[in-house]
């Protein structure tokens, strides 16, 4: 059977969905590990990562079942969902890669002000206090704040050093996986319209 036939397309689609299953389990495991060891205290962040992992697992499971059974309905819904995810992920990835310095700062400030738990995580991890200014009359989770003579840097200075690299990395990874998703859409469309050579030659499954 030459590559591009029924069996080759089926195996390629199964392999792609197995990759998605592994990635989804990795996301769920990393989020649970971070919460268990207290690296991330924000329930929203952990729940968001786990939610993405569960959604990806369900989509991959539907695609894997559809590929193994050559089920037309499952493959159709899998193809539609995967294309919608591709459009969303491709747009977000391009936005991450296109953000300039000022847009990055505004985005970071919005994220900082949205969650106090995230603020504490950042202050504890980066050993900094506040976003633009350090308020020594307030509270801070950083170790530098609890020293006899506290001297802490604002978190914006430290975050901005890595923000560009992180956005480039996230955008690049997202762009890579978006192309695997459009590959999955193409494989699914090709597989749905290919007859199973082991079935009745006059039947179309």
Give the side-chain half-sphere CA count within 13 A for 37. Answer: 6
Polymer length in residues for the chain: 205
Cα 63 from Cα 32, distance rounded (Å) = 25
In a domain, 164, yes or no: yes
Number of domains in the chain: 1
The 10s digit of each residue's pLDDT in 14-71 is: 999 999 999 889 888 887 776 665 555 556 667 777 888 899 999 999 999 999 988 8
Pair 144, 151: CB distance under 8 Å: yes
Q: Which domain holds residue 157?
A: 88-180
Give me the pLDDT at residue 124, please: 80
In a domain, 108, yes or no: yes
**Number of Cβ atoms within 10 Å of the Cβ of 106:** 11
* Residue 135 three-state SS: coil
Q: Pick 59 or 128 by higher pLDDT.
A: 59
Structure tokens, 84: 């919608």
The 10s digit of each residue's pLDDT in 144-196 is: 887 777 778 788 777 777 777 777 888 888 888 889 999 999 999 998 888 77
Examine the pLDDT at 125 and tell me if it is beyond 60.
yes
In a domain, 95, yes or no: yes
In a domain, 70, yes or no: no
Classify the C-alpha dihedral 51-52-53-55 as positive or negative.
positive
Examine the pLDDT at 77 and tell me if it is beyond 80.
yes
Evaluate if pTM is beyond 0.75.
Answer: no
In a domain, 112, yes or no: yes
């Amino acid at each position: 059977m030459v590559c591009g036939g029924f069996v080759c397309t089926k195996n390629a689609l199964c392999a792609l969905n197995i990759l998605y299953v592994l990635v989804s389990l990795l996301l769920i495991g990393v989020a649970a590990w971070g919460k268990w060891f207290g690296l991330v205290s924000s329930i929203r962040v952990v729940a968001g990562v786990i939610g993405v992992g569960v959604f990806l697992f369900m989509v991959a499971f539907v695609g894997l079942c559809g590929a193994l059974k050559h089920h037309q309905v499952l493959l159709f819904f899998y193809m539609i969902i995967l294309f919608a995810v591709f459009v969303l992920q491709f747009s977000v990835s391009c936005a991450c890669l296109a953000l300039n310095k000022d847009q990055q700062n505004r985005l970071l400030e919005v994220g900082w002000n949205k969650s106090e738990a995230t603020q504490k995580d950042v202050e504890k991890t980066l050993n900094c206090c506040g976003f633009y200014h350090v308020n020594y009359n307030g509270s801070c989770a950083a170790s530098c704040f609890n020293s006899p003579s506290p001297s802490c840097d604002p978190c914006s200075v430290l975050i901005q050093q890595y923000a560009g690299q992180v956005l480039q990395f996230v955008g690049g990874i997202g762009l890579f996986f978006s192309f695997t998703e459009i590959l999955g859409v193409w494989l699914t469309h090709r597989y749905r319209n290919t007859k199973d050579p082991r079935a009745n030659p006059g039947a179309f499954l």
